[in-house]
Amino acid sequence: MSKAVKMKPVRRLVPKKPSNNILKDPVGVYCRVRPLSQDDQECCIEVISETTIQLHPPDGIKVNRNGEFKETQYSFKKVFGINTTQLELFEDVAKPLVDDLLHCKNGLLFTYGVTGSGKTYTMTGSPGQGGLLPRCLNMIFNSIGPYQAKRFVFKTDDKNGMEIQTQVDALLERQKRENQSALIKTPKQRLDPDVADMINIEDACKVEGIDEDSVFAIFVSYIEIYNNYIYDLLEDTPFEPIKPKWNGCGTPMRSTEFIPPQSKILREDQNHNMYVAGCTEVEVKSTEEAFEVFWKGQKKRRIANTQLNRESSRSHSVFIIKLAQAPLDADGDNVLQDKEQICVSQLCLVDLAGSERTHRTKAEGNRLREAGNINQSLMTLRTCIEVLRENQMYGTNKMVPYRDSKVTHLFKNYFDGEGKVRMIVCVNPKADDYEETLLVMRFAEMTQEVEVARPVDRPICGLTPGRRHRNQAFKDELTRKLEERGGPINGDDGSMIDILLQSFPPLPSCELVDPSDEQTLPALIECLEKRQRAREMLIEAFHNQVVKTKSMIQNFEGTVSGKDNIIQEQRAKLSDKDRVILQHKSELDRLEKKTKTLEYKIEILQKTANIYEEDKRALQQELDTKDQKLHRQLSDNRRLEARLQGVASETKIKWEKECERRVAAKQLEMQNKLWVKDEKLKQLKAIVTENKNERPDQPEKPERPSRDKDKVLLRPVTPSPASGEVFRTRGGGQAVQFTDIETLKQESPTGSSRKRRSSGNIPVQQEETTENEWTDVETRCSVAVEMRAGSNLGPGYQHHGLPKRRKP
Ligand code: ADP
Ligand code: MG
């Protein structure tokens, strides 16, 4: 608070809508500033707007730690300055509560502040300046005046409930009580002129829209809470011999003539409302009566305080106005005898004890202890408000310590349940009160952050509205008719009889003063005879009337029986129709059941069809996949076949060529060998012949076979019987069996030499030998080789074997 003026944020006074749809309103906090009295010179409060006041620290404590002025502002729902009248305050603060009360809603109004700040002035008022309490009473009775129930129609029970009795019972009870009070009758005191002045309220206001078809009754009770004890201020002091008694806080009484009231306890009723058990509730019928009751309690309070040496500013006083309301019956004449329909609402007007701390009162001993307790109750009030506020603002669920003091416990349901709560903070602007006033302001500001559930409107009873007025109109009309006829209303014949009776000749005087009187008796006789005739006439008329009435009744009975017959017929028809309806209904039921069964079946079938459909789809898919796979496989196979065919034909051609090549190579080799052998043989022959015959001519040199690679020399060879055996094969060819083959060594053009041996009957494959490579091979075959002509080597191909030779 370094600034010169501490600005407070504008308080939220709009009703908040909580999540659970219960409308809540903040506690309405108002501030009333009383005027200074002559001797209090320094003023420390300034009203700066309709809703804000500013506190100036008085001279002594003007400077704070920083040496600055410490002025604070506080905002309320409304601020009432020193010139505010009692009426203005009432209009703004209390009127809505009275309005609520008459509409079956509860209200709580309390004044809070230090002693001397004007709490009592505000609540009760002073002579000529009636406070909120008499004004509330006045408004209530102004509003319900014509609709008040007779005394004792409503009766309070001892459980905070309300009972109702008939007007006759109420009348009897009234008489009984009047008789009782007559016995102990005290002369009715005239109202204290000051008091009369307080309730003499010029501006009579009224609540609009109250239920005119209801009756109302007001009950008041007045209690005082001192030192956390509850006292009933309206309790009748018992007529007992005076005994020494002890007061509530354990101290013996000073006076033996005074019986202090017994303290009361709090109880909770079935609607969770707290009430003072056994507290007197007085039914009052007017503002005067109600205020008189209040004043009686006030006197009692004053006496008790004086007698018990208590400080009145340290007690809380609670004035409870209870309103009972019940609807009229359907005729609008009597109260409906239904306890459930009674609505009870109450307005509590509380004048709290001074909120100042104990040291200020300079109390000592017992009084200090008591004062401490009273402080304690205000402290509890503050704590409750604080916890409530915290719970509401931060969603916590702390226990509110209502039970710690009687005041808070009594008003528990206002904060926990529903109702309208208003507080008037009274402040005295004098400098002495500054510090206490600061505390009051802080509490007041916090209080307006608490929210209370808004009372809901009570549903009105189901009877037709306007009953009271209709009943009244009917009564008025009746009275008017009676007045017109000048007597009770009868039938036409009745009035004729009346007229007849009235037209009877009056009896002459029957006084016989003279025994020789000849006139009186005959005149009397004549008159009586006349009357007798008239009587007979009347009897006859009566009999005629009776006969007429009888015939009328018979006629009527006939008509009635006729109507009865018709009704019977109609009833029979109705029951027939009923039967038909029943049949239709049962048929309908059956059909409905059938429909349901069919629907069920359809549903099942639909489900089955869906399953099948799904299966079908899955199978179709599978089929498609397999088909595709098959197609793929088929085309793969075709490709493979084509490839294999290609490979086979290639291989075949390759092998044919290879075989041809090998055969040609072998042939060439064999021819070469043959040629070499032949050459050798020729040479040998020549040598032999030269030596023997000395032949002069040169022998002819044989031609060596060509080594052309493409040219395969195919020469039919006739095996020599000397070198091998020729025999026929099973295939139709010829074979030569060599016993020995010897190839003479030859030079290869490439220069490489290789030796190959083979054994067995499988021909040796010379894969590495090409056409260009001429290998000199020396082969010895010691096994027989079988050659099958034309079997494997293809057409036009011929084997030729070499003759069996022996190695030299
Ligand atoms: P409290 O009840 O708070 O202790 P009171 O109501 O008894 O205070 O007031 C103390 C005195 O001040 C009384 O004499 C009363 O008449 C007077 N007073 C209080 N408030 C006002 C006011 N607004 N206007 C005039 N006088 C007032
Ligand atoms: Mg007071």
- CA 291/CA 196 separation, integer angstroms: 9
Residue nearest to atom 15 of ligand 1 (CA): 121
pLDDT of residue 538: 82
pLDDT of residue 799: 41
Residue nearest to atom 22 of ligand 1 (CA): 34
How many residues in the chain?
808
Q: Show the CA angle centred on residue 717, arms to residues 713 and 721, nearest 5°.
A: 155
Residues with CB under 6 A from ligand 1: 34-35, 113, 115-121, 126, 313, 354, 426
- CB 366, CB 252: distance < 8 Å: no
- Strand (E) positions, 165-254? 214-226, 229-232
pLDDT tens for 199-218 read: 877 777 888 888 899 999 99
Decide if pLDDT at 689 tops 80: yes
Ligand with the closest atom to the CA of 121: 1
Mutate which of 31, 33, 120, 121 for ligand 1 pocket (most atoms within 8 A of beta carbon): 121
Q: 780 falls in which pLDDT band (50, 70, 90)?
A: very low
pLDDT of residue 758: 40
Instruction: Quickly tell me which residue has 């904060």 as its tokens.
Output: 415
Angle between helices 132-144 and 95-102 (to 10 degrees): 40
Q: Which residue in 140, 564, 129 sits closest to 319, CA to CA?
A: 140
Decide if pLDDT at 776 tops 60: no
For the chain, helix (H) and strand (E) counts, in that order, are 14, 24
Determine the distance separating the centroid of ligand 1 and the alpha carbon of 261, expressed in angstroms: 28
Neighbours of 710 (CB within 10 A): 7
Q: Between β-strands 316-327 and 343-351, what pairing exists: parallel, antiparallel or unpaired?
A: antiparallel
Q: How far is CA 533 from CA 498, 540, 543, in A?
A: 16, 10, 15
User: Which of ligand 1's atoms lies nearest the C-alpha of 37?
Assistant: 12
Ligand with the closest atom to the CA of 114: 1
Determine the distance separating the centroid of ligand 2 and the alpha carbon of 135, expressed in angstroms: 18
763 or 34: which leads in pLDDT: 34
Q: 144 falls in which pLDDT band (50, 70, 90)?
A: very high
User: Which of ligand 1's atoms lies nearest the C-alpha of 126?
Assistant: 16
> For the chain, what percent of residues have pLDDT higher than 70?
72
Q: How far is CA 322 from CA 217, 349, 459, in A?
A: 8, 11, 20
Mutate which of 33, 34, 114, 350 for ligand 1 pocket (most atoms within 8 A of beta carbon): 34
Helix (H, G, I), strand (E, B) or coil at 474: helix
Determine the distance separating the centroid of ligand 1 and the alpha carbon of 126, expressed in angstroms: 9
pLDDT tens for 590-646 read: 999 999 999 999 999 999 999 999 999 999 999 999 999 999 999 999 999 999 999
Q: Between β-strands 107-112 and 420-427, what pairing exists: parallel, antiparallel or unpaired?
A: parallel
pLDDT of residue 664: 93
Residue nearest to atom 20 of ligand 1 (CA): 118
pLDDT tens for 440-481 read: 999 999 999 999 998 888 777 778 888 898 888 888 888 888
Q: Which residue in 600, 228, 611, 569 sits closest to 403, CA to CA?
A: 228
713 burial via Cβ count (<10 Å: 0-12, 13-18, 19+): middle
321 or 798: which leads in pLDDT: 321
Residue nearest to atom 1 of ligand 1 (CA): 116
Residue nearest to atom 17 of ligand 1 (CA): 118
Determine the distance separating the centroid of ligand 1 and the alpha carbon of 120, expressed in angstroms: 7
40 or 326: which leads in pLDDT: 326
pLDDT of residue 257: 57
Determine the distance separating the centroid of ligand 2 and the alpha carbon of 407, expressed in angstroms: 16
Helix (H, G, I), strand (E, B) or coil at 710: coil
Element (H or E) spanning 616, and its range?
A: helix 520-693
Decide if pLDDT at 64 tops 90: no
179 or 120: which leads in pLDDT: 120
Instruction: Retrieve residue 534's tokens.
Output: 């008239």
Name the residue type at position 631: H
User: Which of ligand 1's atoms lies nearest the C-alpha of 122?
Assistant: 6
Ligand with the closest atom to the CA of 131: 1
Q: What is the mean pLDDT of residues 656-674?
A: 93
Q: Which residues, by Cβ under 5 Å, contact ligand 2, an ion?
A: 119-120
Neighbours of 233 (CB within 10 A): 23
Ligand with the closest atom to the CA of 84: 1
Determine the distance separating the centroid of ligand 1 and the alpha carbon of 430, expressed in angstroms: 13
Q: What is the mean pLDDT of residues 772-793?
A: 39
User: Which of ligand 1's atoms lies nearest the C-alpha of 34?
Assistant: 23
Q: What is the mean pLDDT of residues 273-285?
A: 94
Determine the distance separating the centroid of ligand 2 and the alpha carbon of 225, expressed in angstroms: 13
801 or 376: which leads in pLDDT: 376
User: Which of ligand 1's atoms lies nearest the C-alpha of 313?
Assistant: 4
Determine the distance separating the centroid of ligand 2 and the alpha carbon of 77, expressed in angstroms: 23
Q: What is the mean pLDDT of residues 311-325?
A: 91
Residue nearest to atom 9 of ligand 1 (CA): 118
Determine the distance separating the centroid of ligand 1 and the alpha carbon of 380, expressed in angstroms: 25
pLDDT tens for 229-254 read: 999 999 886 544 444 444 444 444 44
User: Which of ligand 1's atoms lies nearest the C-alpha of 115?
Assistant: 4
DSSP state of 251: P
User: Which of ligand 1's atoms lies nearest the C-alpha of 32?
Assistant: 23
Q: What is the mean pLDDT of residues 113-120?
A: 94
**Please, which residues bridge with residue 323 across strands?**
218, 345
pLDDT tens for 486-532 read: 655 444 445 555 566 666 667 777 777 777 777 778 888 888 888 88
Q: What are phi and psi of 129, to 5 degrees?
A: -130, 65
Q: 401 falls in which pLDDT band (50, 70, 90)?
A: very high
- SS3 assignment for 404-465: HCHHHHHCHHHHHCECEEEEEEEECCEHHHHHHHHHHHHHHHHHCCCEEECCCCCCCCCCCC
Residue nearest to atom 23 of ligand 1 (CA): 34
Determine the distance separating the centroid of ligand 1 and the alpha carbon of 78, expressed in angstroms: 19
pLDDT tens for 41-55 read: 788 899 999 999 999
- Quote the distance between the C-alpha of residue 731 and its chain's center: 111
pLDDT of residue 720: 45
- CA 685/CA 356 separation, integer angstroms: 171
pLDDT tens for 742-771 read: 444 444 444 444 444 444 444 444 444 444
- CA 197/CA 191 separation, integer angstroms: 10
> For the chain, what percent of residues have pLDDT higher than 90?
44
Angle between helices 132-144 and 287-307 (to 10 degrees): 150
Helix (H, G, I), strand (E, B) or coil at 350: strand
Residue nearest to atom 10 of ligand 1 (CA): 116
pLDDT of residue 168: 86
- Mean pLDDT for the chain overall: 79
Residue nearest to atom 18 of ligand 1 (CA): 118
pLDDT of residue 447: 94
pLDDT tens for 559-577 read: 888 888 999 999 999 999 9
Long-range contacts of range 301-310, CB-CB < 8 Å, 24 or more positions apart? Answer: 301/224, 301/233, 303/258, 304/224, 304/231, 304/258, 304/260, 304/261, 307/253, 307/254, 307/255, 307/258, 307/260, 308/247, 308/251, 308/253, 308/254, 308/260, 309/254, 309/367, 310/226, 310/367, 310/370
Q: What is the mean pLDDT of residues 716-727?
A: 46
Determine the distance separating the centroid of ligand 2 and the alpha carbon of 124, expressed in angstroms: 9
Determine the distance separating the centroid of ligand 1 and the alpha carbon of 779, expressed in angstroms: 157
Backbone CA torsion sign across 327, 329, 333, 334: negative
User: Which of ligand 1's atoms lies nearest the C-alpha of 111?
Assistant: 3
- CA 775/CA 764 separation, integer angstroms: 14
pLDDT of residue 558: 86
